[in-house]
A and B are shown apart, each in its own frame.
Chain A
Amino acid sequence: MLRSVFAKTLRDARRGVLWWSLGLAGLAAMMVAVYPSVRDNPSLDKLLESYPEALRGVIGFGGELDYSSGAGYLGIELFSFMVPLLLIVVTVAAGAGAVAGEEERGTLDLLLSTPVSRRRLVVEKLGALVVEVVVLGAVLWLALVVGSNAGDLGVSAAHLGAATAGAVLLALGFGTIALLVGAASGRRSRAIAVAAAGAVAAYLVDSLASLSSVLEALQPASPFYHYSASDPLRHGLQAEHAAFLVAVVVAAAVLAVVAVERRDFRT
């Protein structure tokens, strides 16, 4: 577990990943357990219909809003907000600390006195970040697949996988932006602030797009739009939307390498 920067970073994260995994699996189990009572209550769908357009945008996850299907239920309760929120929190915290955490604690001097290039440092830190989030996504997906079968939600493993993969890519985008800002500034707090502000802005642009033509024009630039646009729980994640989310990660990663190459690290 101490063979490389990548392996050590994962080792350092193992406890956090374990607790987050339990939390996400617990959340999925709880939501699935509640589903039968929601499904059998037709007044909830009537309530949804009465919601104003803006609110429907906020709670929706791509497709039709309904509580009477498993896909509709999971979209509203988990994927429209809770799952991306939690994954973004974990990923942004880890990304912000990836390089800036080492610099702030002063361990970067020791680490970079070994023959590890700055580029390799960023790549291995990003690699560890990817593995962490993918593990969390996989745990969540497994919990949902098991729960969906047990609770008869009628959402296929593939569609659950598409929605979860979208959430993982979405979170990685903001996590990589946090890594970039941390690597460029050497400050974790700044990295968290910028990435969190970006995530909130992207979320609001996408959710409230129906309210104004300006927001509507901006909507295709929001990762949240691409995360939900293809209604993944019913139709899977379309390649073009996935490509946008991957592009955000790649662009932030490239910028992080460029930025870290120009730094004078602080003691």
Chain B
Amino acid sequence: MYGRQTGVRELTFAVGPGEVFGFLGPNGAGKTTTIRLMLDLIRPTSGRLEIFGLDARTESVEIRQRTGYVPGDLRLYDRLTGRELLEFLAHLRGVRHLRYAEELAERLGLGLDRPIHALSKGNRQKVGLVQAFMHRPELLVLDEPTAGLDPLVQQVFYDLVGEAAAEGRTVFLSSHVLSEVQHIAGRVAVVREGLLVLVDEIESLRERAATRVEATFEEAPPPGAFADVAGVTEVERRGPTVVYSLRGPADPLVKALARYRVLGLDSHEADLEDVFVGLYRGEDAA
């Protein structure tokens, strides 16, 4: 997949301390490639990547000392038990005891005494999370970290991310679905085909997203009747019901609707997922 092909072409962004940063894009967009560049598992043909002000290529060992990582395709040493694996990684990272690791495992509902090959996918993912968090790193790099986790455990994970951020640690979180990150990330970057599509606050993305307004008329206005109304586009038509997408203030649409007999009116909050689907396809959200 990586070989001689270019996985990532142009990505420029900066993430600050204490930030929870969502890194989004469809599968194959270059998220994992970017993350593996951060850990010096692969090297860029050109460009520069700095973490903690250190060069990701030449000062990688020091960066990794201060980083926790959950690989997107998590593979563990199957013959070890969870505890043995954590012991091994703790030694390599200079962590003296497993107290915090055991606390994390307990919160995630993970038993550490079974060999890893006997664990379910979800439990292996928990081992991956524990080893990433156990040394309280300044930076957490998490590639699709909730894969295989049930919703209750996902909530524990969100709590852990929140706590890390509250302690001033940085979380870099990749995902191909927005819903995974939209409640915990402050900012997101969206990549598509190795290019950065946007970097923005979740909140301002929400503002950029359209509201869906569904109006049911006694007699539907002819198509194009609202073409001149500011911020409004007709999306769909089912008999007497017309769905409009609205950006900006609602007033022009309300005034325009007032000229007709409206039997029902329904509006949905901005759906970020729709914005992202648009971005993935290459349409501009604005």
Binding site for B on A (CB under 8 A): 2-5, 8, 12, 105-117, 264-267
Q: Which residues of A contact B60 (CB under 8 A)?
A: 117
> Which residues of B lie under 8 Å from residue A267 when comparing CB positions?
1-2, 32, 36, 71-73
> How many Cβ-Cβ contacts under 8 Å join chain A to chain B?
78
Give me 27 A-to-B residue pairs in the complex whose CB atoms sit less than 8 angstroms apart, sorted by A's number: A2-B80, A2-B87, A2-B88, A4-B92, A12-B79, A105-B75, A106-B73, A107-B76, A107-B77, A109-B41, A109-B71, A109-B75, A110-B71, A110-B89, A110-B128, A111-B92, A112-B39, A113-B71, A115-B61, A115-B62, A115-B64, A115-B93, A115-B94, A116-B64, A264-B42, A267-B2, A267-B73
Q: Which residue of B lies closest to A109 (CB)?
A: B71
Interface centre among A110, A113, A115, A117 (most CB of B within 10 A): A113
Decide yes or no whether B247 CB sits under 8 A from chain A: no
Minimal Cβ-Cβ distance residue in B for A2:
B88
- B43 close to A (CB within 8 Å): yes
* A2-B84, A110-B71, A266-B2 known; A116+B92 contact, CB < 8 A: yes
Closest to B79 in A: A12
Q: Which of B39, B73, B80 contacts A113, CB < 8 Å? A: B39
Give 6 closest A-B pairs by Cβ, nearest first.
Answer: A106-B75, A113-B69, A114-B92, A264-B42, A115-B65, A2-B88
Q: Which residues of B contact A5 (CB under 8 A)?
A: 92
B84 to A: closest C-beta gap in Å: 6
Q: Which residues of A contact B89 (CB under 8 A)?
A: 110, 114
CA distance A111 to B77 in the complex (A): 10
Residues from chain B with Cβ under 8 Å of A114 in the complex: 64, 89, 92-93
A110 touches B76 (CB 8 A): yes
Instruction: List 20 extra interface pairs beyond A113-B68, A264-B42, A266-B1, CB under 8 A.
Output: A2-B80, A2-B87, A2-B91, A5-B92, A105-B75, A106-B71, A107-B76, A107-B77, A108-B41, A109-B69, A109-B71, A111-B92, A112-B40, A114-B64, A114-B92, A114-B93, A115-B65, A116-B92, A117-B60, A264-B41
- Who on chain A is nearest to B67 by CB? A113
Residues in B124-169 with C-beta less than 8 Å from chain A: 128, 131
- Min CB distance B75 to A, Å, is 3
Q: Which residues of B contact A106 (CB under 8 A)?
A: 71, 73, 75
What CA separation (Å) do A111 and B92 show in the bound complex? 9
Measured between beta carbons, the chain A residues less than 8 angstroms from B54 are: none
A265 and B92 in contact (CB under 8 A), knowing A105-B75, A117-B61? no
The majority secondary structure among interface residues of chain A is: loop
A118 → B minimal CB distance (Å) = 8
Query: Which residues of B86-104 have CB atoms within 8 Å of chain A's CB atoms?
Result: 87-89, 91-94
User: A236 to chain B: closest CB distance in Å?
Assistant: 41
- Within the complex, the shortest CB–CB distance from A107 to chain B, in Å, comes to 5
Task: Across the interface, name the chain A residue whose C-beta is closest to B72.
Answer: A267
The listed residue with most B CB atoms (<10 A of its CB), out of A3, A4, A114, A116, is: A114
Cα-based distance from A4 to B90 in the complex (angstroms): 10
Residues of chain B within 8 A of A105, CB atoms compared: 75
B41 partner residues in chain A, CB cutoff 8 A: 108-109, 112, 264-265
Q: Which of B3, B36, B92 has the most CB of A within 10 A?
A: B92
Per-residue interface assignment for chain B, residues 38 to 62, with 1 indicating a CB less than 8 Å from any chain A CB and 0 otherwise: 0111110000000000000000111
A241 vs B27: C-alpha distance when bound (angstroms): 56
Bound form: Cα–Cα A158–B137 in Å:
54
- What's the Cα separation between A108 and B36 when bound, in Å? 12
**Nearest-CB residue, chain A, relative to B40:** A112
B74 interface contact, C-beta 8 A: yes
Compute how far the CA of A12 lies from the CA of B84 in the bound complex, rounded to whole angstroms: 12
Task: For residue A234, give the distance in angstroms from its CB to the closest CB of chain B.
Answer: 45
Contact B74 A110, beta carbon cutoff 8 Å: yes
Min CB distance A99 to B, Å, is: 13
List residues of chain B with CB within 8 A of the CB of A265.
36, 41-42
In the complex, A4→B40 CA distance in Å? 20
Chain B contacts of A107 at CB under 8 A? 75-77
Nearest CB of B to A265, in Å: 5
Q: In this complex, what residue of A is CB-closest to B64?
A: A115
Q: Which residues of B contact A266 (CB under 8 A)?
A: 1-2
Chain A residues whose C-beta falls within 8 Å of the C-beta of B40 in the assembled complex = 112
Chain A residues closer than 8 Å to B74, beta-carbon distance: 110
Write the nearest CB–CB distance from A14 to chain B, whole angstroms: 11
Kindly provide the distance from the CB of B120 to the nearest chain A CB, expressed in whole angstroms: 18
Contacts of A110 in B (CB 8 A): 69, 71, 74-76, 89, 128, 131
Residues of A with C-beta under 8 A to B64: 112-116
A242→B40 CA distance, assembly (Å): 38
How many Å lie between the Cα of A106 and that of B89 in the bound state?
A: 16
Contacts of B42 in A (CB 8 A): 264-265
Closest partner residue, chain A, to B62 (CB atom):
A115
Contact B91 A3 (CB under 8 A): yes
In whole Å, how far is A115's beta carbon from the nearest beta carbon of chain B? 4
Q: Assuming A109-B41, A265-B42, is B92 touching A115 (CB within 8 A)?
A: yes
